[in-house]
């Protein structure tokens, strides 16, 4: 789907509730290619977390938070979606992972699981695993192979563990602010 500001396109990975457009979601996980310097779309009432999946990286200037260099090896950056933000590419296009939650409805946590034998107990109401590289993970004892760009959506707590081969994935946990 097109970006809200018209500057590019995004691939929606998962959204809740599943409504058309960008105004009705409580949470959304997407990936996008950023091919040029420019402003980020403004999303009133939305909290965002951004991570770089591929490319040399970008410098993200967020009003009130300064400038942060995001590269595939750096931690995800959380910032309010309703403040001005501007991206400058470090060395060509990047592919990013973007997690958005409506501030009045949900909270989010985004972490990277990387290397051999990583493990985590994820306790979100909704859990989204997004592979930044090939990964064979065990989710509650069931092995699931993920290729780069694959995603796995689940509800409720889950134990996630990598095997002997290195894994590279983002674990997104989303909780509602009130039971739903």
The pLDDT of 116-144, averaged and rounded, is: 85
Is residue 160 within 8 Å of residue 139, measured between CB atoms? yes
* CB 34, CB 20: distance < 8 Å: no
With a cut of 70, say whether residue 82 has pLDDT above it.
yes
Residue 95, pLDDT > 90, answer yes
- Whether 139 has a pLDDT exceeding 90, the answer reads no
Closest of 175, 176, 169 to residue 31, by C-alpha:
169
Distances in Å between the Cα of 152 and the Cα atoms of 23, 48, 66, 92 are 24, 20, 33, 29
Span 120-137, mean pLDDT? 89
DSSP tag of 75 = P
pLDDT of residue 55: 94
pLDDT at site 15? 94
pLDDT value of residue 6: 59
According to DSSP, the residues that pair with 144 across neighbouring strands are: 137
Q: How many CA atoms lie within 13 A of 108 on its CB side?
A: 28
Q: Is the pLDDT of residue 81 over 90?
A: yes
Section 65-91 average pLDDT: 96
Q: What is the pLDDT of residue 8?
A: 64
Residue 27 to residue 102: CA distance in whole angstroms: 6
**How does pLDDT run across 35-72, given as a tens digit for each residue?**
999 999 899 999 999 999 999 999 999 999 999 999 99
Write down the pLDDT at residue 114. Answer: 86
Percent of the chain with pLDDT over 90: 61
Please say if the pLDDT value at position 127 is more than 90.
yes
Mean pLDDT of the chain: 89
Looking at residues 115-123, what average pLDDT do you find? Answer: 81
Q: How many C-alpha atoms does 56 have within 13 Å on its Cβ side? A: 10
Q: Which pLDDT score is estimated for 4? A: 64
Distances, alpha carbon 165 to alpha carbons 121, 129, 135, 145, in Å = 19, 17, 8, 11
């Amino acid at each position: 789907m097109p970006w809200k500001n018209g500057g590019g396109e995004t691939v929606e990975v998962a959204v809740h509730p599943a409504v058309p457009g960008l105004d009705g979601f409580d949470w959304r996980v997407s990936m996008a290619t950023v091919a040029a310097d420019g402003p980020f779309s403004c999303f009133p009432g939305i909290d965002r977390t951004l991570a770089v999946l591929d490319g040399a990286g970008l410098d993200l200037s967020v009003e009130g938070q300064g400038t942060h260099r995001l590269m595939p090896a750096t931690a995800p950056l959380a910032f309010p979606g309703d403040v001005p933000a501007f991206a400058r590419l470090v060395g060509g296009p990047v592919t990013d992972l973007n997690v958005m939650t409506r501030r009045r409805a949900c909270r989010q946590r985004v972490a990277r699981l990387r290397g051999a034998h990583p493990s985590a107990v994820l306790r979100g109401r909704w859990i989204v695993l997004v592979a930044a590289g090939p990964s064979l993970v065990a989710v509650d004892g069931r092995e699931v192979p993920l290729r780069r760009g694959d995603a796995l959506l689940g509800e409720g707590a889950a134990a996630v563990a990598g095997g002997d081969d290195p894994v590279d994935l983002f674990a997104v946990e989303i909780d509602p602010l009130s039971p739903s």
